Amino acid sequence: MKPPLFLRIASILALVFCAGHTVGGVFSKPAPGVQSLVVQTMKTNPFDVMGHMRTFWDFNIGYGLLISTVLFAHCFLFWQLSALVKTDGARLRPVFAMLALEFLVQAPIAARYFFLGPCIFSLLIAACLAGAFFTAGRVAST
């Protein structure tokens, strides 16, 4: 496969990852019972953080939305890189390596602190970026 295809697949995976994270993680409703109780506790116990009253729920939603934003930006970044790799493939290889490393490092974190879905998406995106890394040099040399 050619580097633009790897990057476009990574872009689509990042978009699906973003949608799943946002809908299923950030905006999903807790299940009745223990989950609802925990969420209610997170919402009703504010504390001072650098002069602002916040709750653990504020942090949960805020961090979740930050991750959604980053995944959405990655989606567009990968798509833009798929166009640039055609002319500057060799020069973009360090960028592909760094992005692949980013998602590779996220995978065990997702597996440990969340669940298998985000881990798999991170690994698939990392594999696509690694594919772009290894094939970009060949395109530039021909």
Q: Considering only CA atoms, which of 74, 97, 63, 98 is closest in space to residue 18?
A: 74
Domain residue spans of the chain: 3-141
Let me know the angle formed at the C-alpha of 44 by 40 and 47, rounded to the nearest 5 degrees.
135
The whole-angstrom separation of Cα 76 and Cα 8 is 10
pLDDT digits (tens, 9 = 90+) for 61-97: 999 999 999 999 999 999 999 999 999 999 999 999 9
- Region 44-61: mean pLDDT is 96
pTM for the whole structure: 0.91
Summary mean pLDDT of the chain: 94
pLDDT band at 138 (very low <50, low <70, confident <90, very high): low
pLDDT digits (tens, 9 = 90+) for 94-128: 999 999 999 999 999 999 999 999 999 999 999 99
Does the pLDDT value for residue 142 go beyond 60?
A: no
Question: Are the beta carbons of 134 and 1 closer than 8 angstroms?
Answer: no
Question: Are the beta carbons of 3 and 82 closer than 8 angstroms?
Answer: yes
